[in-house]
Amino acid sequence: MTGLRNFFATVLASAAVLGAVSGAMAADTIKIGDINSYTGMTAFTAPYKNGMMLALDEINADGGVLGKKLKLITKDDKGQPGEAVKAAQELFNRDGVAMITGATLSNVGLALTSYAGQRKHLYIASEPLADAVVWSEGNRYTFRLRPSTYMQAAMLADAAAKENKKRWATIAPNYSYGKEAVEAFEKLLKEKQPDVEFVGSQWPGLFKIDAGAEVQALAAAKPDAIFNVTFGSDLAKFVREGETRGLFKDTLVTSMLTGEPEYMDPMKAEAPKNWLATGYPWYAIEEKSHEDYVAAYKKKFGDYPRLGSLVGYDTILTAAAALKKAGSTDTDALVEAMSGLTIDTPLGKVLYRPIDHQSTMGAFVGRTAVKDGKGIMVDWSYKDGADFLPSDAEVKKLRPASD
């Protein structure tokens, strides 16, 4: 028994020493936890993490924040809301992070939004696009960086109305992001073009598209134009099958996200042509701040940035700016700092609106094309997110009154 007591005493003493060392190390850093689909959606999340690491390197090289280095701890949500919540619990309870960021899929982002509100932890929703993140399910502790579903639908509806197409069909993944995108686009296009008619809707399961059947159903509706919300592998299958069956001939396609390198690059020469889409023409943006960012990214990673890279970069800029403004890692101070926070990004200033916690980060709208065997965007323009948000009066109807 004496030997056993001595053994446990030694273990406890060692643990105490390790705890003291860990605490000393923690005193020199501020931890940020990121939760994302690192194994399931690598086309977006790998560049996203690269963007975060670039920003961390730059900030830490400049002395960090509040006299401390920033440290990133990442967790894989495996594309599952339950896994994301479990990861969030570990990050706060075991790793001692000051805040969490991330999520790509909207259902995962909504789970983290709920968790943040219930547990009173700061969550910067980097990527999930569902409007509910900042409106119907929004809360005091959740802020979103990327332009939302509504914002991008508004940008596309504005451009589509100028094409004056009468008969529209839609195709979107059957979950929150897809449903909100179609609802917003239909509403906004009808406001600009009252005589428009929606003649068919297809709702494939996320990453489970039966592209042949979907294309056949869309063709049967005989639309003048199609609003597409599919992305990733679903998008590639839809494009291939649509081209094979001639669905896109003489038919305008307006599409969410398609112009982003994450989705254009894998299709190579099979990328869609002349679609009206949101995207990221990093190779043609001549703003000096963006050129400096691209140069730094290429130098560090030997690769060009994708949209995820920019989102990751701006996420860390946001976290650092919030910490600096708050002057501490206290959650209430951070939340107060996030409301009305302005950050300088490679594409200009971005504001986190106090009324709904949505940032004014914009997006590019243009036409898709193929050049040198690769998909690109042409005839594009940058749309300031602030110009494509609903009024304060409308937001108050959408946002929880208890917030």
- Show the domains of the chain with their CATH numbers: 25-148+286-362 (3.40.50.2300), 150-284+364-388 (3.40.50.2300)
DSSP 175: S
Q: How many CA atoms lie within 13 A of 57 on its CB side?
A: 13
Q: pLDDT at residue 305 above 70?
A: yes
Q: Is 102 helix (H, G, I), strand (E, B) or coil?
A: strand
- CA separation (Å) from 306 to 197, 245, 309, 326? 35, 31, 5, 31
Of 79, 76, 75, 90, nearest to 121 by C-alpha is 90
According to the model, what pLDDT value does residue 16 have?
40
Assign 40 a pLDDT band (cuts: 50, 70, 90): confident
Assign 24 a pLDDT band (cuts: 50, 70, 90): very low
pLDDT digits (tens, 9 = 90+) for 195-210: 999 999 999 999 999 9
Average pLDDT, stretch 237-257? 97
Tokens found for residue 145 = 């960086």
According to the model, what pLDDT value does residue 11 have?
36
**How many residues would you count in the chain?**
403
Cα 400 from Cα 133, distance rounded (Å): 11
Q: pLDDT at residue 26 above 70?
A: no
According to the model, what pLDDT value does residue 403 have?
62
According to the model, what pLDDT value does residue 3 have?
42
Cα distance from N-terminal residue to C-terminal residue, the chain: 58
Q: What residues pair up with 33 in beta bridges, in sequence order?
A: 73, 100
DSSP string, 354-382: TTT-BB---EEEEEEEEETTEEEEEEEEE
Average pLDDT, stretch 71-94? 97
In 97-231, alpha helices (H): 106-119, 149-161, 176-192, 211-220
Which amino acid is it at 97? V
Q: pLDDT at residue 401 above 80?
A: no
Of 258, 254, 281, 306, nearest to 364 by C-alpha is 281
pLDDT digits (tens, 9 = 90+) for 54-77: 999 999 999 999 999 999 999 999
CA angle, 262 then 265 then 267, to 5°: 115
| Contact present, 119 and 93 (Cβ < 8 Å) | no
What's the mean per-residue pLDDT of the chain? 93
Assign 27 a pLDDT band (cuts: 50, 70, 90): confident
Lowest mean pLDDT among 10-19, 68-77, 326-335, 340-349: 10-19
Question: What angle do the packed helices 232-244 and 211-220 form, to 10 degrees?
Answer: 60
Cα 304 from Cα 296, distance rounded (Å): 10
Answer left, alpha or beta for residue 277, where phi above 0 means left and psi between -120 and 50 means alpha: beta
| Contact present, 175 and 111 (Cβ < 8 Å) | no
Average pLDDT, stretch 319-340? 98
Assign 41 a pLDDT band (cuts: 50, 70, 90): confident
Q: pLDDT at residue 12 above 50?
A: no
According to the model, what pLDDT value does residue 402 have?
58
| Contact present, 228 and 255 (Cβ < 8 Å) | yes
